[in-house]
Chain A
Amino acid sequence: MSMKLQPVQIATGSNDRESRLVFENGLLVAVLVQLSGEHDSQAGKWFLEIGFGRVEDPHAPLFDDLAHAQDWIVRQLGTDAPRA
């Protein structure tokens, strides 16, 4: 798998703006948003704003950093994920 993260700012209607578009083999599979100070103890963690296909999960955990988020996304995609 070849995963790429593209920094982007998202208007979430809150102070959570710092975000990453997550591409796997050139296809957008997820959008991650970093939680701002208004989330207190969770500030700085990464939130799965949306996942596509196998990455969709309304109860995804919060991730301490982008490496953990990527590991989780890879697991969701699985080894037999459809390729581009």
Chain B
Amino acid sequence: MTDALGTDADLPPRLPASPPDIVNPFVRKLEGFGPLSGTDRALLERLSAGGHVIGPRIDLVREGDAPDGVILVMEGIACRQKHRANGARQITAYLVPGDACDLDVALVTQMDHTITTLSPCRVVRIPTDHVKRLMDEHPAVARSLRISTLVDEATLREWLVNVGCRSAIERIAHLFCELLVRLQVVGFASEDSYEFPVTQLDLADTVGLSNVHVNRSLQELRRQGVIELKGRTLKILDRQRLRSIAEFNAKYLHLGTRAAA
């Protein structure tokens, strides 16, 4: 298959260079949902500091496992996925920098899905009692975290519409539009480009298409001069056209005035 998005073999075992003057994506994301005090910001920075750099295609927690803290992605892209007995899988969400798994995960005894890195990631595990204290003692942070959960659910609804109601090219266009907005919010995308370290097979399992249909759609988007893929950098050459193909409206991301794309 065309190596439009990179293959497993040539993925680097390290993180790509972080954007310069990077602001903590966790703080940046939550601050977008409402004002935070200096104390709140400092606390979030402490909670999200350190962590581990983890290679691609590593399960952070598996379906059936007991949850072990709240997983926070600070660099790279991870995903939520479900597997069928026959080996097929569906990716149901991307976790980009600043995104966490379910905050209330401690309320359930076992995971109903698997969380896996798609690219090299820096991942922080926040103990659930720390999250509870954060929610109890810092109402502004709690409010932003709750909005963040609502946005996760809204995004899942949008992805469901994607696989149920959109054509192959529309599904991919929609995902590319969404990621541009989400990555811009946390400082990981420029006006029109971002690192997209997701293999074509992962993309196929994200949008519920065969690898062949994904490849055809990417070629068509290139032919139309809408996107350019060089290595792992996705450049959107014609944002208006991409949005039009996808019928993309960023309202479900609840970003207020921040949705520049």
Query: B157 within 8 Å of A by Cβ?
Result: no
Query: A63 within 8 Å of B by Cβ?
Result: no
Q: Which of A41, A47, A59, A62 contacts B88 (CB 8 A)?
A: A59
Q: How far is the CA of A47 from the CA of B232 in the complex (A)?
A: 27
Interface residues of A (CB under 8 A from B): 12-14, 16, 35, 38-42, 47, 58-59, 62
Q: Which of B44-52, B98-106, B122-130, B212-220 contacts A (4 or more CB under 8 A)?
A: B212-220
Residues of A within 8 A of B240 (CB): none
- Nearest B residue to A42 via CB reads B1
Q: How far is the CB of B126 from chain A (nearest CB, A)?
A: 36
Query: B233 within 8 Å of A by Cβ?
Result: no
Residues of A within 8 A of B87 (CB): 59
Most buried by A among B3, B86, B212: B212
Q: How far is the CB of B83 from chain A (nearest CB, A)?
A: 12
- Give 1 or 0 for each of B9-20: 1 = CB within 8 Å of chain A CB: 000000000000
Q: Please tell me if the beta carbons of A40 and B212 are within 8 angstroms of each other in the complex.
A: no
Q: Please tell me if the beta carbons of B215 and A58 are within 8 angstroms of each other in the complex.
A: no
Residues of B within 8 A of A40 (CB): 1-3
Chain B's interface size range is: 10 to 19
* Known A12-B216, A13-B216, A47-B210: A38·B2 in contact at CB below 8 Å: yes
Q: Please tell me if the beta carbons of A39 and B88 are within 8 angstroms of each other in the complex.
A: no
Contacts A12-B216, A38-B219, A42-B212 supplied; 13 other A-B pairs, CB < 8 Å: A13-B216, A14-B219, A14-B220, A35-B212, A38-B215, A39-B2, A39-B215, A40-B2, A42-B1, A47-B212, A58-B210, A59-B87, A62-B212
- Cross-chain pairs A/B with CB under 8 angstroms, 25 sampled: A12-B216, A13-B216, A14-B216, A14-B219, A16-B212, A35-B212, A38-B215, A38-B219, A39-B1, A39-B2, A39-B212, A39-B215, A40-B1, A40-B2, A40-B3, A41-B1, A42-B1, A42-B212, A47-B210, A47-B212, A58-B210, A59-B86, A59-B87, A59-B88, A59-B210
- Nearest A residue to B87 via CB reads A59
Residues of A within 8 A of B88 (CB): 58-59
Instruction: Tell me if B's interface is mostly helix, strand, loop or mixed.
Output: loop
Which 8 pairs from chain A and chain B are nearest by CB?
A14-B216, A40-B2, A42-B1, A47-B212, A59-B88, A38-B219, A39-B2, A39-B1
Residues of B within 8 A of A14 (CB): 216, 219-220
Residues of A within 8 A of B3 (CB): 40
Q: How far is the CA of A35 from the CA of B211 in the complex (A)?
A: 12
Residues of B within 8 A of A35 (CB): 212
B210-237 residues with Cβ-Cβ distance < 8 A to A are: 210, 212, 215-216, 219-220
Q: Please tell me if the beta carbons of A13 and B220 are within 8 angstroms of each other in the complex.
A: yes
Q: How far is the CA of A58 from the CA of B212 in the complex (A)?
A: 11
Q: How far is the CA of A59 from the CA of B212 in the complex (A)?
A: 11
